[in-house]
Amino acid sequence: MGKYNEEETLKRLQDPATQSKAFEEIVNHYSQPLYWQIRRLVIDHDDADDVLQNTFIKAWTNISAFRGESKLSTWLYKIAYNESLTFLNHKKEQMSLDEEGSMVTETLESDTYIDGDETQLMLEKAIQQLPDKQRAVFNMKYFQEMKYEDISKITGTSVGALKASFHIAVKKIEEYFNSHD
Amino acid sequence: MILEEKKLEKRFGKGNPYTVPEGYFDTLTSRIMSNLPDADQCKTISIMPSRKTYWKQWTCGVAACIAGALICLNVFDSPTQPANNFASNNTNKTEMSAGYDEEYQKEVMRYAMVDYNDVYTYLSGTAY
């Protein structure tokens, strides 16, 4: 597949004859970054794979809702963010609070597709203690190094509230380490 | 970057402890594409207004301008009443003006080939 040109791809997305091919280019370009955003939230690889599939199905069936007013990446990240939170909420409904806490720790320790050193795993455990939305904000800012303005468009939260949320998240992580050192 | 974030980065870095099955990303695009519903279930996007939309907007605008101009001309060109007749004519004028204005507006709109809806749409800026 050639070099991705978003402007050209969006033009071809308007033509039913080239729509499918154009969408394939979008999938090819965005599937990896979206996967990692989802994976850091849902942890398990198979769950992340399911949520990613749903994200693109939703984008494809609602492509008419994309008016070109925001960046395509922002629109896709927003769908992925919402799909991840919906998935996590459904999962929580199916288990008790105790099960929920232990499940995250167990997944981090036993998942075949987690291969970090002890320090990285420790950070992941600390991040998993945060509420879902705060965790998503922390991941987007710390790991994906997104701008607050972009995170604001994805999450629908004001920049000021995001800065406060990130600051509190960092404090909570620090406290987690202080209590586990 | 805030101080606490710098400390975190210094201590833990920004490494990714997660991995994926071998070759996962190689087949990901084709797997996602094969799971998509048929194209007829999604609508074609329209990022910019179409030519048809521009034409409709332009026509509405011109028609509303003509209608507006003709209504204004009617207001300013109405014959001046003599001062001594004002009191006696005032009642009749008030009674008649509502019906007369409406009739005149309808005639203007017929001439400009627009209806109230077109004028309202243009003035409220909701024309696409």
Whole-number Å distance between alpha carbons of B100 and B71: 12
A-B CB pairs within 8 A amount to 123
More confident residue, A141 or B14: A141
**Chain segment A65-89, per-residue pLDDT in tens:** 787 778 999 999 999 999 999 999 9
Per the CB < 8 A criterion, the answer to whether A38 and A88 are in contact is: no
**Within 10 Å of residue A109's Cβ, how many Cβ atoms?**
10
Of the pLDDT bands very low, low, confident and very high (cuts 50, 70, 90), residue B87 is: very low
Whether the per-residue pLDDT at A92 is higher than 80: the answer is yes
What is the widest separation between alpha-carbon atoms in chain B? 100
State which residue of chain A sits closest to B19, comparing Cα positions: A113
**CA neighbours closer than 13 Å in the CB half-sphere of residue A134:** 16
Structural Rg of chain B based on CA atoms:
33
Q: Suggest the residue from B1, B2, B3, B12 to mutate for an interface test with chain A (most A CBs closer than 10 A).
A: B12
Chain B positions touching A24 (Cβ under 8 A) are 29, 33
What is the widest separation between alpha-carbon atoms in chain A? 60
Chain A positions touching B13 (Cβ under 8 A) are 119-120
Whether the per-residue pLDDT at A51 is higher than 60: the answer is yes
Please indicate whether, in this complex, the C-beta atoms of A56 and B32 are within 8 angstroms of each other.
yes
Segment A152-179 mean pLDDT: 93
Whether the per-residue pLDDT at B49 is higher than 50: the answer is no
**Nearest alpha carbon to residue A26 among A46, A47, A45, A1:** A1
Whether the per-residue pLDDT at A53 is higher than 80: the answer is yes
The pLDDT, as a whole number, for residue B13 is: 86
Whole-number Å distance between alpha carbons of A23 and A3: 14
Q: Distances from the Cα of A11 to the Cαs of A6, A19, A27, in angstroms?
A: 9, 9, 16
Sign of CA dihedral A14, A17, A23, A29: negative
Q: What is the mean pLDDT of chain A?
A: 88
Segment B6-33 mean pLDDT: 91
Q: Distances from the Cα of B124 to the Cαs of B42, B60, B118, B119, in angstroms?
A: 31, 12, 10, 8
More confident residue, B44 or A34: A34
The pLDDT, as a whole number, for residue B27 is: 95
Q: Which of A52, A66, A120 sits opposite B17 (nearest CB)?
A: A120
More confident residue, B52 or A158: A158
Q: Suggest the residue from A35, A70, A112, A172 to mutate for an interface test with chain B (most B CBs closer than 10 A).
A: A35
What is the complex's ipTM, to 2 decimals? 0.83
Say if A147 is an interface residue toward chain B (CB within 8 Å).
no
The pLDDT, as a whole number, for residue B7 is: 82
Say if A66 is an interface residue toward chain B (CB within 8 Å).
yes
Helix, coil or strand: residue A83: helix
**Chain segment B64-74, per-residue pLDDT in tens:** 667 667 666 66
Whether the per-residue pLDDT at A136 is higher than 50: the answer is yes
The pLDDT, as a whole number, for residue B8 is: 84
Say if B41 is an interface residue toward chain A (CB within 8 Å).
yes
Of the pLDDT bands very low, low, confident and very high (cuts 50, 70, 90), residue B12 is: confident
**CA neighbours closer than 13 Å in the CB half-sphere of residue A83:** 24
Whole-number Å distance between alpha carbons of B66 and B111: 9
Q: Which of A63, A121, A170 sits opposite B8 (nearest CB)?
A: A170
Residue type, A9: T
State which residue of chain A sits closest to B31, comparing Cα positions: A53
Of the pLDDT bands very low, low, confident and very high (cuts 50, 70, 90), residue B32 is: very high
- Least Cα separation, residue A121 to chain B (angstroms): 7
